[in-house]
Amino acid sequence: MNSDPHAKPPTPTGGVADLATADPREHIEPGEAQRPMTMSYVLFLCAFFAWGGYYTQRYSADYGALSYDENAGIGSGKVVAAKPVDPYVLGKRLFENVCAKCHQPDGLGLPGQYPPLVGSEWAQAAGPARMIRIALDGLQGPVTVKGLAFNNNMTPHRDALNDQQIAAILTYVRTQKEWGHKASPVAPEEVAAIRAKTKDRAALGSWTAAELLALPEHEPKP
Amino acid sequence: MSATSPSILRALSPADSGDEVQQRALLAEIDASCRGTLMLFFGASVVWLLIGTAFALITSWKMHSPNFLADISWLAFGRVRPAHLNAVVLGFASEAAIGVTLWLMCRLGRVPLMHAWMVNIAGVFWNVGLAIGIGGILAGDSTGIEWLEIPGYASPLLFVTYALIAIWGIIAFRFRREKHLYVSQWYLLGALFWFPWLYSAAQILLIMEPVRGVVQAAVNWWFGHNVLGLWFTPIGIAAIYYFIPKVLGVPVYKYSLSVIGFWSLALFYNWNGMHHLVGGPLPAWLITVSIVASVMMTIPVITVGLNHHFTMWGHFHKLKDSPVLRFMVFGGMSYTVTSLHGILLALRSVSEVTHFTHSTIAHAHQGLYAFFVMVMFGAIYYIVPRIVQVEWPSARLIRIHFWATAIGIMLYIVPLTIGGTLQGFAMINPDVPFLDLNKYSVVTMTVPYLKMRSFSGFVILVGHLAFATSFVWIVARWIKAARRPQPAQIASHA
Amino acid sequence: MLFVSSVIVLPVAALWALRWAVRHGEFKNLDKTALSIFDDEEPVGRMTDRFPDAPRNSKPSRS
Amino acid sequence: MNYGPIIFLGIFLTIASSWLGLVLAPQIQFGRQQEIKIEETGEVYPPVRPGLAQQGMEIYKANGCIYCHTQQVRTEGYGADIARNWGQRRTVTRDYLHDKPVMLGTMRTGPDLTNIGVRQTSVLWHLQHLYDPQITSKGSIMPPFRFLFEKRKAGDKPSPDALALPKEFAPEAGFEIVPKQEAKVLVQYLLSLKANAPLPEAK
């Protein structure tokens, strides 16, 4: 059995303790008289309060109602250039989060509901002109993909995705390695050009397969 | 039989209560006066514990097999989860908390439970209000605000209860016969004062007259976090501060530390509600203030932790002999671990990963279950034999209960924390797809951890069933003993 | 208005309370309070909880 | 400390301070924030939610969608919210002025829905996904909300809003699945969730 449960630190009998109780008018530090608060503990407290004040002042973006970025005032000033992301990687991310919802992560779509992209002649067309239009303003009515008939509505992504994103997605789909796609990648400028050219298309509704097949695969240079 | 308690009017006017120090009531007399009320609260809390555990198992099972009970609209996941939360938080935890608070206030004030009628009415209101509220949630009337899902037609009943109990607390405090205010009583007074303010402010500002826009989220999480911080934590710590010294028969290590512990907890815990919204649509200063308050919580946590640990110093071998001590020490240590883990979660760089993931859920259960519920179990194991004067029928059931819940909650916390953190890393890496059946994706990688959680749920269920059997058994013996009038079996433990 | 005035009033009240507490010896002989939960019925040094099946005043029992 | 009133004063001061700091201060600072006019489009932002979408919000709230879906987009570079195209910009207080209750949510078991009305605008997809998430998202742990749909005998011609389902999910011959009003308004609510208007403070 170990020794007495726990040795109570010796309380100062004479000296300071008696003095304190003797003369209440004299201002006494709380707790100091009986048992000296260990200095390390006091430093522990002060360290925290100091850090707290510093952190609050530094990361509160001077308490603005509309300042959400805690590093607003403090940034090193130079705008760190966003490192360019490889379109294939960006396209893969966006495909998985946006397009995969209907065309499925494996790109095979749902029979009778959502057309497949793997080995689809639309996705492997020489020029991206039709795909860009589909991505921008959607597709409606009957369409045959790999000989299978579909009749569903593809929703427009004109204001959901910007040019760089659409270009990245189309580049990814057209050059998907596992699917063995070897079509040409798409540049954001091409998407921008077609977006400008078809800016009133949104009001007319989505493309139909017939309209698209009538258009050339490569967008004629203006 | 409750001691002749002064009438309400006289109770409130201290002037004529006379200054003779009424003789401090005997412990046995105090325990006897608490019997009816406490058995109402503890009995109801055991019922809510089983209901809450059932909801928990349904919720957990639905998490990894969504087709389970999918076509019953009132058991939809989105309704069973808030029902579980309210059944356990307002049902078991709060009722047990009130039972323990009543008993502690009487014991520490050395005064029998006066005006028991007031607290009994509060208990009835509570259970009726909660039953209606949870029924409302399952029927689809949830208010849609986390931690405040009880619909508007049931929450006033709950508020009446808190108000009655707070008033009772003040009266009991006013007429205590013990000059010294033990540390537990500061915490209890704090809890009894804080919670009605929190609940009424949140009800008014969120449900009756909703404030505009994201201020609702600020009020919601000021309330949400403080339910744990200013209601459960103070009562849990009050219980630990009372039961560990009481069971060991050893006074608290350094009482002056508890002064700092209490006031730093009161000040900092209040302020760290917004760490639930790190990165959210709130001005930076609001979130920064809460993060600072969360980190400053290290002071009370370390202080209280040390205080309890050194009180236990040299007595750890007694854990073998005392069930109450096991629950209390398990709860105390869980409190320290939870709080330090919580402080980490509040930091911006950590929150970027763990926010919105299952590790938040693991932390919530570690705080609520591993700390507070275990402490309440320990308190109930200490209080009930003393108030009904009947010993717990089976020590085996108590051991089953302790080991099942202790291991169960560990099986809950550890896998879910790991799983949640991995989920967090997967979620902030855009190259990991969110959902892809045949690739490493965020959703598919969390499923095995959710299955482990379901398993731990069943282990905890075993513990709860053992506890419920013990409780029913002791009530049966109490009724039998009450019918056979004979001298009380045991005065108090040798 | 309420906000600004309270930002002044609250800390002042807190400091006054602290000063009053120190003046009235609230922090003096704290350790006596630690003993307030013990009395002749349940004195210091006596364990007050054990497993129900443990013999009344036994030494260690089954874990 | 043995003197009750002082402890009560301390307890009162602590919660009064947090109530002022975390409840009153935000209310004063951005509690009365107004809508603003967007220069590019000239509309007032945030728009008032159309009636059907408002009813849909009640369904969203009643079925506890907030326990798995969030409605907040974190800033670029802090988490992958924008990289995953869950939003085109971070969300700010102005985005939620008309939400009663504001349902920011705390768990992302499912994706964030702040901008779902922009990235997934197909009503048919939403209805199929709500009927049984395994149709469109295999492996999803989202429960099917079949109780928001009605299975009834099909007349000789399928009714206009019968739900087109793949073979393995379609009802047996002679029956059709029709979305109840709750399902339709819920989809209208999801389509009303848009947070892509350019706001000066949300750069």
A111 to chain B, any CB pair closer than 8 A? The answer is: no
* Cα B168 to Cα B121, C37, D55, distances in angstroms: 12, 22, 43
* DSSP H stretches of helix in chain D: 4-19, 25-30, 51-62, 116-119, 123-131, 181-191
Q: Which residues of A touch B250 (CB under 8 A)?
A: 5
Size of interface A-B (CB pairs under 8 A): 86
CB-based contact C49 B256, cutoff 8 Å: no
pLDDT at position B265, please?
Answer: 94
Confidence band (pLDDT; 50, 70, 90) for C23? confident
Rounded Cα–Cα distance for residues B252 and B250 (Å):
7
Q: Which residues of D touch A66 (CB under 8 A)?
A: 30, 92-93, 201
Task: Write the ipTM.
Answer: 0.86
Q: Are B181 and B116 in contact (CB under 8 A)?
A: no
Rounded Cα–Cα distance for residues B445 and A17 (Å):
63
Question: For residue C40, is pLDDT > 80?
Answer: no
Among the listed residues C30, D8, C14, the one whose alpha carbon sits nearest the alpha carbon of residue B257: C30
With a CB-CB cutoff of 8 Å, which residues 345-404 of chain B face chain C?
A: 381-382, 391-396, 398-399
Question: For residue C60, is pLDDT > 70?
Answer: no
pLDDT at position B110, please?
Answer: 87
Q: Looking at CA atoms only, how far is residue C3 from chain B in angstroms? A: 16
- Best probe of the B interface among D19, D54, D109, D147, by most B CBs < 10 A, is D109
Crossing angle (nearest 10°) for helices B255-271 and D4-19 = 30
Strand D149-153 and strand D175-179: the pairing is: antiparallel
pLDDT at position B19, please?
Answer: 41
Among the listed residues B424, B356, B351, the one whose alpha carbon sits nearest the alpha carbon of residue D112: B356
pLDDT at position B184, please?
Answer: 92
CB-based contact D29 A65, cutoff 8 Å: yes
Of C2, C7, C20, the CB nearest to D6: C20
Tens of pLDDT along chain B (494 residues) come to 344 455 554 544 444 344 444 566 778 888 888 889 999 999 999 999 999 999 999 999 999 999 999 999 999 999 999 999 999 999 999 999 999 999 999 988 888 888 889 999 999 999 999 999 999 999 999 999 999 999 999 999 999 998 899 899 988 888 888 888 889 999 999 999 999 999 999 999 999 999 999 999 999 999 999 999 999 999 999 999 999 999 998 888 888 888 889 999 999 999 999 999 999 999 999 999 999 999 999 999 999 999 999 999 889 998 988 999 999 999 999 999 999 999 999 999 999 999 999 999 999 999 999 999 999 999 999 999 999 989 999 999 999 999 999 999 999 999 999 999 999 999 999 999 999 988 899 999 999 999 999 999 999 999 999 999 999 999 999 999 888 765 554 444 44
Q: Are B364 and B276 in contact (CB under 8 A)?
A: no
pLDDT at position A9, please?
Answer: 46
CB-based contact A93 B430, cutoff 8 Å: yes
Strand A207-208 and strand A139-140: the pairing is: parallel
Query: pTM value?
Result: 0.89
Q: Are A102 and D122 in contact (CB under 8 A)?
A: yes
Q: Which residues of B touch C57 (CB under 8 A)?
A: 494
| pLDDT less than 50: residues of chain A | 1-23, 26-34
C53 to chain B, any CB pair closer than 8 A? The answer is: yes
B357 to chain D, any CB pair closer than 8 A? The answer is: yes
Among the listed residues D154, D160, D157, D151, the one whose alpha carbon sits nearest the alpha carbon of residue D174: D154
Of D17, D62, D138, the CB nearest to B270: D17
Among the listed residues A169, A158, A42, the one whose alpha carbon sits nearest the alpha carbon of residue A101: A169
- Best probe of the A interface among D136, D138, D191, by most A CBs < 10 A, is D136
Element (H, E) at D175: strand D175-179
CB-based contact D3 C33, cutoff 8 Å: no
CB-based contact C49 B393, cutoff 8 Å: no
pLDDT in tens, D2-41: 788 888 999 999 999 999 999 999 999 999 999 999 888 8
pLDDT at position A35, please?
Answer: 52
